[in-house]
């Protein structure tokens, strides 16, 4: 039986380890204080030996986390040249989507910023153009809360472009008040999963016709507390819980990507389906509350760092289909990107197949695979 790695642990197991470390630190401080004030005559052994023992026991775990774990050093500078490549980034007017679009454009890609608000997207596009990127950015309207808008966007894109190298399903909403999409789906399930499912399906033929194409969906560590209730995916018969609904949508992202990769492989297509998560990044997704903004300043990594796992998944030559990438730091909260593990529920093939069928029925869109 292989020894478990940090990335293979569940959120609860990681939390238990962090809690145990906190307790250990408290015990160390209490023992060190007591030892320092206690005469050696009242000790079993010499004070210097006990100090050494306490120090080694406390510093050992810290040294491991500081220097013992191999960490990625991948950065934007490692993004290969993207000249001639065309990328769609949903939700590119702010946050992780903006940083993803900017970085790809600076490396030479033609980036379509697919956004609900053309006004906000145009301001973001101008900010990127001001950086004089090697590539270019173009704004196209896309409202993921309306499947008619998704279809319109896909149709317009296919009339303008003959290839699609990267489809980055980045846009998402997080724990809003209970609401519905235009077609009546629970808003987080509808926007975060169902609309991206439909968008990918309608662009799949173009992706498969483009050598080296990739689909990247942005999930979250929140998938770990997500559960799919197939009897009530849209929260019509349950008391609404925004966090659980968010976790459900992020779990759906992973089930979709893993199933898409299996279907691509079975069809002998070269397109890769991969996923990423940003860790804890300071974006507008968490809201504007004072407590959250303070937490962002104290603990979160920057938007640009949060976008690195997505950029790695989209561009790194060594990426393989069905992989999942996140930050390499402690608890996957921050750091440069590396391959990480999602939970067992995200790899449930029966659930993935059922979700696929339900998603086709709800969206009215089928994949040509």
pLDDT bin (cut points 50, 70, 90) of residue 167 is very high
pLDDT given for residue 289 in this prediction: 44
Place of tokens 């998704």: 150
For residue 121, pLDDT over 60 is answered with yes
pLDDT given for residue 15 in this prediction: 75
Q: Higher-confidence residue: 329 or 107?
A: 107
- Lowest mean pLDDT of 11-15, 163-167, 310-314, name the range: 11-15
pLDDT given for residue 21 in this prediction: 74
Other beta carbons within 10 Å of 255: 27
Residue 184 neighbours by CB under 8 Å, 6+ apart: 234
- Lowest mean pLDDT of 118-132, 145-159, 193-207, 332-346, name the range: 332-346
Other beta carbons within 10 Å of 198: 24
- Lowest mean pLDDT of 38-52, 140-154, 291-305, 319-333, name the range: 291-305
Residue range 266-295: mean pLDDT, rounded: 75
Distance CA 248, CA 192 (A): 10
- Lowest mean pLDDT of 52-56, 220-224, 364-368, name the range: 52-56
Distance of CA 13 to the CA centre of its chain: 20
For residue 1, pLDDT over 50 is answered with no
pLDDT bin (cut points 50, 70, 90) of residue 317 is very high
As a dihedral over the C-alpha atoms of residue 301, residue 307, residue 313, residue 314, rounded to 10 degrees, the angle is -160
pLDDT over 90, % of the chain = 72
Active-site residues: which are they? 246
Place of tokens 């994949």: 367
For residue 68, pLDDT over 60 is answered with no
Distance CA 187, CA 196 (A): 13
Q: Tens digits of per-residue pLDDT, 283-313?
A: 655 444 444 455 455 557 899 999 999 999 9
Q: Tens digits of per-residue pLDDT, 228-241?
A: 999 999 999 999 99
Q: Higher-confidence residue: 60 or 110?
A: 110
pTM of the model: 0.82
Residue range 216-227: mean pLDDT, rounded: 96
Q: Tens digits of per-residue pLDDT, 14-33?
A: 777 777 778 777 777 777 77
pLDDT given for residue 8 in this prediction: 61
Distance CA 300, CA 52 (A): 35
Measured CA to CA in angstroms, residue 203 lies from 71, 132, 162, 341, 357 at distances of 35, 29, 11, 28, 18
Distance CA 115, CA 126 (A): 14
pLDDT given for residue 185 in this prediction: 98
């Amino acid at each position: 039986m292989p020894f478990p790695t940090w990335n293979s642990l569940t959120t609860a197991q990681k939390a238990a380890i962090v809690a145990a470390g906190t307790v250990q630190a408290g015990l160390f401080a209490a023992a060190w204080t007591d030892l320092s004030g206690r005469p050696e005559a009242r000790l079993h052994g010499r004070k210097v030996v006990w100090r050494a023992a306490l120090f080694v026991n406390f510093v050992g775990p810290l040294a491991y986390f500081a220097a013992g774990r191999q960490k990625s050093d991948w950065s934007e500078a490692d993004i290969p040249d993207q000249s001639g490549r065309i990328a769609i980034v949903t939700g590119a007017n702010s946050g992780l989507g903006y940083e993803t679009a900017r970085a790809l454009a600076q490396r030479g890609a033609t980036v379509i910023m697919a956004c609900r608000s053309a006004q906000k997207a145009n301001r973001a596009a101008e900010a990127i153009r001001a950086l004089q990127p090697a590539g270019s950015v173009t704004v196209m309207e896309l409202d993921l809360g309306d499947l008619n808008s998704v279809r319109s966007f896909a149709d317009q894109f296919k009339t303008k472009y003959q290839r699609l190298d990267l489809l980055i399903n980045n846009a998402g909403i997080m724990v809003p008040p209970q609401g519905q999409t235009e077609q009546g789906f629970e808003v987080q399930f509808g926007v975060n999963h169902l609309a991206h499912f439909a968008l990918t399906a309608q662009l799949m033929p173009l992706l498969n016709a483009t050598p080296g194409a990739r689909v990247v969906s942005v999930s979250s560590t929140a998938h770990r507390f997500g559960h799919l209730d197939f009897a009530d995916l849209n929260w019509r018969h349950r008391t609404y819980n925004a966090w659980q609904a968010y976790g459900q949508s992020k779990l759906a992202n992973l089930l979709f990507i893993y199933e898409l990769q299996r279907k691509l492989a079975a069809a002998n297509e070269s397109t890769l389906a991969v996923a990423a998560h940003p860790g804890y990044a300071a974006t507008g997704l968490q809201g504007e509350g004072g407590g959250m903004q303070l937490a962002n300043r104290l603990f979160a990594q920057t938007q640009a760092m949060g976008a690195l796992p997505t950029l790695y998944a989209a561009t790194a030559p060594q990426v393989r289909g069905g992989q999942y990438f996140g930050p390499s730091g402690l608890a996957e909260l921050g750091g440069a990107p590396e391959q990480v593990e999602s939970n067992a529920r995200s790899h449930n093939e029966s659930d993935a197949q059922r979700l696929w069928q339900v998603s086709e029925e709800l969206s009215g869109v089928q994949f040509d695979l």
